[in-house]
Structure 1
């Protein structure tokens, strides 16, 4: 008989790593039901908060009982929502790397949508900031910027495409490591009966672009963590958001951070507010908007 001076070495093979089948018992309908219900209390880093009042990131000064939308959008993720006229919409960039690409549609008549050319032309201002209107092609104010701590935005470049991301990152699948903004907008639009052909150019917040004297576009990047942008919906809106890397971002890796989105009930801009008549062009756009909404009882 062989003896040893110490404990016998364990030569048995390492246990196989747990598989999804090991972690979830779904061998019957009842087991599958119990397993699914067991996941109900779990929370992730990127998720909508339901009800919205349960958001752990309620904006300062906002009564959380008035929240109608609260969500943290993953890097490379997207979201969408229909908002009532007068709703306040806020984007927060907690890390300094978010890039909120935004599309707006008239929720009642989606043929009316954001027109980036008019958004720059009518206010005689190419750079988005406080009191800048987001205009439709019908000469109406869809939303207006009411707060901005970032100052780094873009209304020139639109969002990324599948072809661009495939060339730069080697992948553009919506479920892949580097989805394109255009691809995510297509998915969001489809949930509201819209197709790729319904998608106009978008604007984006938190990654700045400036035009040089020779006409070249220069990427400025973000303004740092903790920045925010607030808007007010001047008509019922369908909002589509894609949180993806900016097309001019020179970094070789797909660089984008999480995006926080909140919306709460409020009132549309009225004639007694300064921005309603700040310029003749904006005054006319607001009159068009009020006429459109009041005729529909809004």
Structure 2
């Protein structure tokens, strides 16, 4: 079995996003971000945009159609609406990440988990994905009109023969991770909240660890470049952007 690249190369930086928390940053070209489910049962709702031209952003329909898949895992790319690669999934111990579920808004959180107000719970109040993402988006001069579909990392949602969605409980375990390599400067916006379809009636979002490292070469992306012809073209489009 090949060595864990994070063990071979020291991380540039590490931080923990607590359950219910949110953050945003630019994942620079040539860097890899590892997201780790510390406790098991985490979900990370993720948005991606071109850091220099944020009107270019993640296009999930093209991402799925171009790679003939309805789930995301190692070897897949996350396409922008300009046919470029915002991030490539180069490693994944969970094996399935959801692209259908979206996030909940404040009203939906109240309906599912109860009131959970700041006045009584203070910093433990019940947060929602829509507002968490908008808070981070505001830091980059983005607003409601820029809110995108999200990838829900660490969550598995299957579709039955009648088109119904089903959240798969006990999917994965503590310590599972997924790694995103950035072939371009990519604005990452994320929040760590339960998946909308998670049947747990209790508000109990789990924390995730983030670790950054610099890649020595873009050879790390070979598995993604070669997994489908469309991915090779998307990488070509990305490289042209930096000529």
Say whether residues 1:128 and 2:72 are aligned partners: yes
The TM-score normalised by the length of structure 1 is 0.73
- Report the equivalent of 1:61: 8
SS at match of 1:291: helix
CA distance in 1, matches of 2:212, 2:222: 21
Is residue 117 of structure 1 aligned with residue 77 of structure 2? Answer: no
3-state secondary structure, aligned to 1:163 = helix
CA distance in 2, matches of 1:267, 1:178: 41
For residue 258 of structure 1, the aligned residue among 207, 232, 242 is 207
Distance 1:93 1:272 in 2: 23
Match of 2:152 in 1: 204
Task: Please state if 1:148 is matched with 2:96.
Answer: no
Query: Conserved in 2, the CA contact under 8 Å of 1:91 and 1:229?
Result: yes
Secondary structure at the counterpart of residue 153 of structure 1:
coil
Aligned runs of 1:281-296 on 2, under 5 Å? 281-294=230-243
Distance in 2 between the 1:212 and 1:71 partners?
Answer: 38
CA contact (8 A) 1:76 1:243 kept: yes
- Residue 278 of structure 1: how far off its partner (Å): 3.4
Give the length in aligned residue pairs. Answer: 234
> 2:181·2:221 contact (CA, 8 Å) conserved in 1?
no
Q: What's the CA shift for 1:293? A: 2.2
Summarize the Cα distance change of 1:133–1:200 in structure 2 as closer, same or farther, 3 Å threshold: same
Q: How far is the alpha carbon of 1:177 from its aligned partner?
A: 2.4
Q: Structure 2: how far apart are the matches of 1:110 and 1:171? A: 35
Tell me how large the CA RMSD over aligned residues is. Answer: 2.1
Which residue of structure 2 aligns with residue 159 of structure 1?
103
Counterpart secondary structure, 1:119: helix
CA-to-aligned-CA distance 1:56-110 (integer Å, 9 cap, x gap):
xx9433324xx1x411011100111112111101000111021111111100000
Q: Secondary structure at the match of 1:182?
A: helix
> How many Å separate the matches in 2 of 1:85 and 1:173?
40
Whole-angstrom CA distance in 1 between matches of 2:224 and 2:27: 21
Give me the whole-angstrom Cα distance separating, in 1, the residues matched to 2:69 and 2:116: 33
SS in structure 1 of the partner of residue 225 of structure 2: helix
Contact 2:31 / 2:215 at 8 angstroms: preserved in 1? yes
Q: Answer whether contact 1:244 1:256 (CA < 8 A) is retained.
A: yes
Does residue 242 of the first structure (1) align with residue 186 of the second (2)?
no
Change (3 A) 1:219 1:268: farther
Distance 1:187 1:271 in 2: 33
Further displaced range: 173-182 or 155-164: 173-182
**Cα separation, 2, equivalents of 1:89 and 1:136:** 18
Q: Deviating runs (4+, > 3 A) in structure 1?
A: 171-176, 267-272
Q: Which runs of 5+ in 2 are unaligned?
A: none
Distance 1:85 1:172, change over 3 A: farther
2:50 maps to what in 1?
106
Q: Is the 8 A contact 2:23 2:190 kept in 1?
A: yes
Q: TM-score, normalized by length of structure 2?
A: 0.89
Structure 1 contact 160–182 (Cα < 8 Å) conserved: yes
Cα displacement string for residues 151-172 of structure 1 (whole angstroms, at most 9, x for unaligned residues): 2421011122222112112347
Structure-to-structure mapping, 1:187-202, within 5 angstroms: 187-202=135-150
In structure 2, the partner of 1:40 is none
Change (3 A) 1:269 1:126: farther
